[in-house]
């Protein structure tokens, strides 16, 4: 199974704005985390992969066949959870899933099995007959994840899947995504870096529509070794540190103020030591 994205470019405003620029990647089963600031092109990429948008240049193939020509055959193996999706507030959670299943062409038997299974997976069984208008933001996110999985897709696209979820729910969904990714191509666009740091097969960093990094998390972190510091500073030194360096966190205890920062050179202020980098440090390095 392979999803091939070849030199995909997307322009808007009669070619004046380039949202995606010569993006190329080969995707096989596993989880891919897509990171980038707002406006980097993440949502545009996902809309092109799902065939909602047509690229200005380039093409996408699934197992060697252009997705535009595959049409319904491609949609049948696709699951998509957009970042923002209108839901029917008067529908209950269960009715909403049955409705989406009908649109996807599932039989009544398939629908019953999948709906009950997915309601359990996203922890909404007890609220299945509650109207969506009464759902919290996190509950709405979970029902949208469930609808993306109704047809047991081979290609699963998740745009900010854990937005609005509390830590326990996030861990539950993250672990679930890991278990189903063995035989699926899963793309997750998120601002919650911790959601993908330990489950992604590869990380894709997007900046101004360009793919700037694509590699395994361990290799990306290895490249950051020696560039992340913890610096102990006084209250008087703190403003200088914040103005001169890319700071990821500031903590304090009875021993002083400790600043975690990213720098190519040893900080000249305070007492510093190198620390093990994480994916948030990588993000800060590329996007601050």
pLDDT for 32? 96
How much is the pTM? 0.89
Distance CA 141, CA 123 (A): 12
Residue 4 CA, distance from chain mean position: 19
Residues in contact with 109: Cβ distance below 8 Å, sequence separation at least 6, in sequence order:
none
pLDDT digits (tens, 9 = 90+) for 64-107: 999 999 999 999 999 999 876 678 899 999 999 999 999 999 99
Query: What are the residue ranges of CATH 3.30.70 in the chain?
Result: 225-287
pLDDT digits (tens, 9 = 90+) for 179-223: 878 889 999 998 778 888 889 999 999 999 999 999 999 999 999
Q: Which CATH architecture has domain 3-221?
A: 3-Layer(aba) Sandwich (3.40)
CATH code: domain 225-287 is: 3.30.70
> How high does pLDDT run on average in the chain?
91
pLDDT digits (tens, 9 = 90+) for 32-66: 999 999 889 998 999 999 999 999 999 999 999 99
pLDDT for 93? 96
pLDDT digits (tens, 9 = 90+) for 254-275: 888 999 999 999 998 888 999 9
Neighbour tally for 214: CB within 10 Å? 16
Total residue length of the chain:
288
Which residues on neighbouring strands pair with residue 258, listed in sequence order? 232, 251
């Amino acid at each position: 199974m392979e999803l091939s994205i070849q030199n995909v470019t997307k322009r808007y405003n009669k070619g004046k704005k380039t949202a995606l620029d010569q993006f190329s990647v080969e995707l096989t089963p596993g989880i891919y985390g897509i990171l980038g600031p707002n406006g980097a092109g993440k949502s545009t990429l996902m809309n092109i992969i799902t065939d909602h948008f047509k690229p200005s240049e380039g093409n996408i193939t699934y197992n060697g066949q252009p997705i535009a020509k595959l049409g319904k055959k491609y949609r049948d193996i696709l699951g998509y959870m957009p970042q923002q999706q209108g839901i029917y507030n008067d529908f209950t959670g269960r009715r909403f899933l049955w409705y989406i299943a009908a649109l996807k062409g599932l039989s009544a038997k398939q629908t019953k099995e999948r709906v009950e299974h997915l309601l359990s997976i996203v922890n909404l069984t007890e609220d299945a007959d509650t109207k969506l208008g009464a759902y919290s933001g996190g509950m709405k996110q979970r029902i949208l994840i469930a609808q993306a999985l109704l047809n047991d897709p081979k290609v699963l696209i998740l745009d900010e899947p854990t937005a609005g979820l509390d830590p326990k729910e996030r861990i539950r969904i993250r672990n679930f995504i890991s278990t189903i990714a063995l035989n699926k191509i899963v793309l997750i666009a998120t601002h919650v870096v911790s959601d993908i740091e330990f489950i992604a097969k590869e990380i894709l960093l997007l900046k101004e529509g360009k793919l700037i990094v694509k590699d395994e998390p361990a290799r990306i972190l290895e490249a950051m070794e020696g560039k992340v510091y913890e610096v102990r500073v006084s209250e008087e030194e703190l403003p200088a540190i914040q103005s001169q360096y890319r700071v990821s966190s500031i903590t304090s205890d009875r021993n002083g103020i400790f600043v975690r920062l990213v720098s190519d050179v040893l900080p000249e202020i305070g007492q510093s030591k190198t620390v093990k980098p994480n994916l948030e440090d990588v993000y800060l390095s590329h996007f601050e």
